[in-house]
Structure 1
Amino acid sequence: MATLRKLLFLSGLWYISQVQGVAKFTNIECLSMDENFATVSLCRLYAVKRDVVEMSLRAHILHWPKGPMSMRMELLKKASGYKPFLYNIRQSDVCEYLEKRNHPFVNIILNSFGNRTNVNKCPIPPEIILEHFRFPVKVLDIMPLPSGDYGLFTTFSFDRQERAQVKVYFTLPEYGK
């Protein structure tokens, strides 16, 4: 009887891990609010397999600010539109953050990029690249989220003006579906 319970428990864990595997990106938007600051040459999702989607983006910084660049990262959940959910983080200096790595949520997101990006420390290169990035399913082990549709909006500002924004949308399926 105990062996049967263990087998059922392990089967359930395997099933849940397989369902989490279909968590995927659904859309991406890259906006440059100031064409004198940056241009976006690539911002798209690629369907690799039925349940696998890769994200790639490429942006060129035309005019690097003299002062610090700030970043705001918001996690939103869809419920009659996208509403704030759990995190709304403001980093007043991106380079200071990249040096200290002092926010757990931002660390989870940026560490999941691994070697898929060229932005790991300052100075940030004039061409920012993220290539063939798949949804980091292992992040759900660290930060389990309820099923649903989400948006992760990242806004970059300097001189108190928003200059660029990346909106990434993803979905997490219900267990058992």
Structure 2
Amino acid sequence: MSSSFIVLAKCIVFLYLVRGIATKVEYTNINCTSLDKDFCDFEYCFLKSVNRSYKYMSLKVNLFKIPVTNVKVNFSLLKRFSGYKPFLYNITVDACKVLRYPKSNPVFVWFHGLFSKHSNMNHTCPFEHDLVVNKLSGNYVNTQFSEVLPFPDGEYLFQSNWYAYNVNRAVVNVYITLASEFLKN
């Protein structure tokens, strides 16, 4: 009886000292590839580490044949086990339709919400300008992972294939690590 009381007391002390568990997102790599250089090309695509705790990513793709009126996107989430394996989501959507009617695909809306506030890709078709994601910080993505839809710890790959007029034009791969940390009082 006394050993179970000691275990219970340790649990109460632990819960008192630890306020909660938070997920921390850290970018590890980004890779942008243009598959049709006559249609589009990346002006830049990089991660920038400002200090130990603040990293952001930025990318800009120049569109050479505008306006673009037909866009499909394939988003996949892969988790590293022994190599990257499919994890949870692999969807292809008509981006023009979903941006017009966001309730038609909540999974795409969640993926799009990861970068939409830091991008000029937040309107429906046609796209008549270069596409930019500017200074998307790990802290912003962290909010999406911890508050909106919690994920287990691990190494992940967000793979996105961007189709225009049913031809794969670009691939953007973002590698992240999720790690839980304990918050103390």
Shift of 1:7: 7.2
The number of residues matched between the two structures is: 171
- Residue in 1 aligned with 2:137? 134
1:170 and 2:151 aligned: no
Shift of 1:103: 2.0
Shift of 1:174: 4.7
Distance 1:157 1:112, change over 3 A: closer
CA contact (8 A) 2:69 2:127 kept: no
Correspondent of 1:54 among 56, 66, 82: 56
**How many percent identity over aligned positions?**
29
- Residue in 1 aligned with 2:100? 99
Structure 1 length as normaliser, TM-score?
Answer: 0.84
For 1:127, the aligned partner's letter is D
CA contact (8 A) 1:62 1:126 kept: no
Question: Where does structure 2 lack aligned partners over 5 or more consecutive residues?
Answer: 1-9
1:9 and 2:15 aligned: yes
Map Cα deviations across residues 42-94 of structure 1 (whole Å, 9 max, x no partner): 10000022132100001111114776221100000011111110000110x21
Q: Of the two structures, which has the highest relative contact order with CA contacts closer than 8 Å and spacing of 6 or more?
A: 2
- Residue in 2 aligned with 1:76? 78
CA contact (8 A) 1:47 1:54 kept: yes
CA contact (8 A) 2:99 2:123 kept: yes
For 2:127, the aligned partner's letter is I
RMSD after superposition: 2.6
Normalized per residue, which structure has more strand?
2
For 1:98, the aligned partner's letter is L
Shift of 1:108: 1.9
Distance 1:6 1:125, change over 3 A: farther
Of the two, which has the highest radius of gyration? 2
Shift of 1:113: 2.6
- Residue in 1 aligned with 2:91? 89
Structure 2 length as normaliser, TM-score?
Answer: 0.81
Correspondent of 1:147 among 123, 146, 153: 153
